[in-house]
């Protein structure tokens, strides 16, 4: 039968290893949830609205924010306990994923704005051109009437 050690230092070391593994696992899961480069670059759409809707869907980050939150939570706890061998490296990885997530969120917001604006703009432009065509037809008809007199 093996003897289990309940020494505080051994338990702390074990807990520190588990925290570090949790941080790494959550960071990896957050990266996995981020869109792929191809998914936001390539498209199969017939018009601009289709492209925007496809891009909006491609920019979905899934549960990346939740995984990042978990990584930061365990990192904060482990850092305060001075449990990590290379906290600077983990902090850098967290910041990189966080910045990337923020950039994707900002892009998603911009695409959402365009998705709402483009159909209204299209309608307004159609009306403007129809009005211009109608005005041109009226002025053309009036010019022909003057020439006939």
Whether residue 2 is contained in a domain is answered as no
Q: Is residue 100 part of a domain?
A: yes
Q: Terminal CA-to-CA distance of the chain, rounded, Å?
A: 118
Is 43 among the domain residues? yes
Buried b (16+ CB within 10 A) or exposed e, 19-58: bbebbeebbebbbebbbeeeebeeeeeeeeeebbebbbeb
How many domains does the chain fold into? 1
Host domain of residue 143: 8-148
Other CB atoms within a 10 A radius of the CB of residue 100 amount to 16
**Do the domain assignments include residue 102?**
yes
pLDDT tens for each residue of 28-42: 999 999 999 999 999
> Would you place residue 5 in the very low, low, confident or very high pLDDT band (cuts 50, 70, 90)?
low
What percent of the chain shows pLDDT beyond 90? 70
Angle at 97 between CA 85 and CA 31, to 5 degrees: 100
pLDDT at 1 over 50: no
Its sign, for the CA torsion 7, 82, 75, 94, is: negative
Residue 1 falls within a domain, yes or no?
A: no
Q: Say which residues have a Cβ less than 8 Å from residue 57's Cβ, sequence separation at least 6.
A: none
Model confidence at 104: pLDDT above 80: yes
């Amino acid at each position: 039968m093996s003897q289990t050690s309940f020494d505080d230092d051994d338990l702390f070391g074990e807990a520190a290893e588990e925290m570090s593994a949790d941080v790494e696992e959550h960071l990896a899961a957050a990266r996995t949830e981020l869109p792929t480069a191809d998914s936001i670059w390539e498209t199969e759409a017939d018009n601009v609205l289709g492209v925007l809707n496809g891009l909006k869907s491609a920019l979905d980050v899934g549960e990346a924010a939740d995984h990042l939150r978990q990584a930061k939570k365990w990192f904060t706890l482990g850092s305060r306990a001075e449990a990590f061998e290379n906290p600077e490296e983990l902090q850098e990885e967290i910041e990189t994923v966080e910045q990337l997530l923020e950039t994707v969120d900002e892009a998603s917001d911009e695409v959402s704005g365009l998705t709402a604006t483009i159909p209204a703009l299209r309608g307004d432009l159609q009306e403007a051109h129809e009005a211009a065509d109608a005005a041109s037809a009226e002025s053309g008809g009036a010019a022909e009437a003057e020439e006939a007199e």
